[in-house]
Every structure is written in C-alpha cells, then in structure tokens.
Amino acid sequence: MKFISWNIDSINAAVEHSSDRGKMTWGVLENLAAAKPDVLAIQETKLKDTGLTKKHLAALTELFPDYHIYTNSSTARKSYAGTMMISKEEPLAVDYPTIGAPGEMDQEGRIVTLEFPNFYVSTVYTPNAGSGLDRLADRQMWDDAYRAYIDGLNAKKPVIFSGDFNVAHEEIDLKHPSTNHHSAGFTDEEREKFTLLLDAGYTDTMRAKNPGTPNIYSWWAQRVKTSKVNNSGWRIDYYLVSNRIADKVTDSFVVDTGARQDHAPIQLEINL
C-alpha cells in the first residue's frame, strides 16, 4: 500500500494556481494524484469552516476520481490550520477528534482519522510553539493529549499516522542544530515529547529505513531564498507506525518537489 502526506499550505492557492508558487503547488498535487496513493493526507488546508468550495471539490474530484474526501476545518480562526484525507477505499468510520487540548487547539481542525478493517490511518497538523515560544506550554499539553489519543487507537488496532509534527527530533534532522536549540521546533521540550511518543510504541519509518543518514529534510524556509538550493532544511514531517507493523514497511522517503520551498510530501510504502 502507498500512503502520502503533505503540508500543502493552502488548498485554495493550489486550486487557483494563479501565482508562480500556486502553480508549483498545483503541479506537486498533480504528481501526487498520478502516483495513485491509497490515502493522501494533507495538512494546513486553510479552508473556511464551511470546508471545500464547489470549485475546490470539482478540482480535487477531477484529480482523484472515485476517491473519498474528508476535511476537518478550523472553526476557531478563519482559513487557518485544517487537515484533509483523500482515500481510495471508503473507510469503516471517520473521526475528527477533540483530544482535550488547551485553548482553541481542538477547534483548529488538526486531526482526521480513518478506520479500516485492520488498521487506522490518521493525520495531524501539530500546533507550532510560536516564534517567541509563547505557545510552548500549550504545545506540550497538546503533545501529551495527542499521545494519549494515538495510544487509544493503538490499543484497538495498529495505527499509521503522519503529518507536520512541527519538531525536528534529533540534531541530524536539521541543517543547523547548534543555533536552533531555543527555536520553535527544536526546543528540548518538544524533542522530549516526540521521544515519549516514539517510546510509547511507534516507529519513525524514514529514520528506521535511513539510520544515520544526514541531510534528509522535508521543510525549507520560504523567506530564505537559498534554503532549498543549499538544502538548509528541517525534517519535521513524519510517517509513524505502530511497532508491531514496522517490519512491514518497505520504503519511507521525502518526495522531490524541485525548486518549490516550504514542505515537501513524504511517502510510505507498506505491505498490509
């Protein structure tokens, strides 16, 4: 089976593809559709609380004919955050959970979970701790609540879960670790919470397939024009699986998006 996950940074920008960046984003989405994944998970849809417009739905349906589309949009802030699943097979059930997160995080459309006969597929857009780490305390509470949520799924059947986790776990996962220890996404607190998640019974599939391999990143800052050219990036997007199905993973990698900066999709291949 083939699973792809991507922080798209606005469905609308992709569908409209009126700017150069929008055209690149649409081109990536077309390539992902051509790959015919079993499930495509998308984060940061930035949809309104009413979800997909008719134009959005028509465009996605043309790219993904006969797929099933599920969206979870923010009701707390307009055109903010949000997640989506596009599935070839109709799931047994779909959940847009609230996990007891602090503040408005549960209203920001951050999780979609699909249940299939033998496993769950979930995606998450983890809250950012903020440029001044003003949301770090709330972020830590989110991490605890999210881990408890995934553990609840895992107690029933194995879980495949992906998304923008907004953390580079180890120093190997970003280009300049020494200057970022107090930056959102690489604080000790965020990294420790991610370690706790893995220790609860889950495998970071890309790192399991590429142990010790440096310079593998999934995000390059847009505001730094040379970040992609110089491969000065961060690996903050992950496919995690329950340990008991980790041996079924055949590949896990970052999808090439050429010159487009920001997030790149990640792909998981697994025999289930």
Distance, CA of 28 to CA of 25 (rounded, Å): 5
125 is catalytic: yes
164 is known to lie in a ligand binding site: yes
pLDDT reported for residue 102: 96
Distance, CA of 40 to CA of 48 (rounded, Å): 20
pLDDT reported for residue 150: 98
User: Which residues touch 106 (CB under 8 Å, ≥6 apart)?
Assistant: 98, 99, 100
31 is known to lie in a ligand binding site: no
44 is known to lie in a ligand binding site: yes
Q: Under a CB-based contact definition with an 8 Å cutoff, are residues 7 and 262 in contact?
A: yes
Distance, CA of 110 to CA of 61 (rounded, Å): 23
Q: Under a CB-based contact definition with an 8 Å cutoff, are residues 184 and 128 in contact?
A: yes
Both tokens of 170, joined, read 């180890």
Q: Which of 31-35, 78-82, 222-226 has the lowest mean pLDDT?
A: 222-226
Which whole number is the average pLDDT over 258-265?
96
Q: Under a CB-based contact definition with an 8 Å cutoff, are residues 170 and 131 in contact?
A: no
User: In the CATH scheme, what is the code of domain 2-270?
Assistant: 3.60.10.10
199 CB neighbour count, 10 Å cutoff: 9
pLDDT reported for residue 40: 98
Q: Where are the domains of the chain?
A: 2-270
List pLDDT tens digits, range 137-180: 999 999 999 999 999 999 999 999 999 999 999 999 999 999 99
List pLDDT tens digits, range 81-97: 999 999 999 999 999 99
The conformational region for residue 203 under phi > 0 = left, psi -120 to 50 = alpha, else beta, is: beta
pLDDT bracket for residue 2 (50, 70, 90): very high
Q: Under a CB-based contact definition with an 8 Å cutoff, are residues 250 and 241 in contact?
A: no
Residue 223 has pLDDT above 90, yes or no: no
Distance, CA of 80 to CA of 47 (rounded, Å): 7
List pLDDT tens digits, range 96-150: 999 999 999 999 999 999 999 999 999 999 999 998 999 999 999 999 999 999 9
Which whole number is the average pLDDT over 222-233?
93
Q: Under a CB-based contact definition with an 8 Å cutoff, are residues 201 and 242 in contact?
A: yes
182 is known to lie in a ligand binding site: no
Residue 269 has pLDDT above 90, yes or no: yes
List pLDDT tens digits, range 48-58: 999 999 999 99
56 is catalytic: no
**% residues pLDDT > 70 (the chain):** 100
Both tokens of 132, joined, read 């001044």
Nearest to 44 by CA among 242, 236, 194, 202: 236
166 is known to lie in a ligand binding site: yes
Q: Give the three-state DSSP class for 16.
A: helix
Distance, CA of 192 to CA of 91 (rounded, Å): 33
Residue 161's alpha-carbon distances to 13, 71, 194, in angstroms, are 25, 16, 14
Q: Under a CB-based contact definition with an 8 Å cutoff, are residues 121 and 83 in contact?
A: no
Q: Chain-wide mean pLDDT for the chain?
A: 97
pLDDT reported for residue 216: 98
- Catalytic entry in 80, 120, 125, 217: 125
- Catalytic entry in 143, 164, 204, 237: 164
Residue 174's alpha-carbon distances to 117, 202, 204, 219, 254, in angstroms, are 37, 21, 16, 9, 14
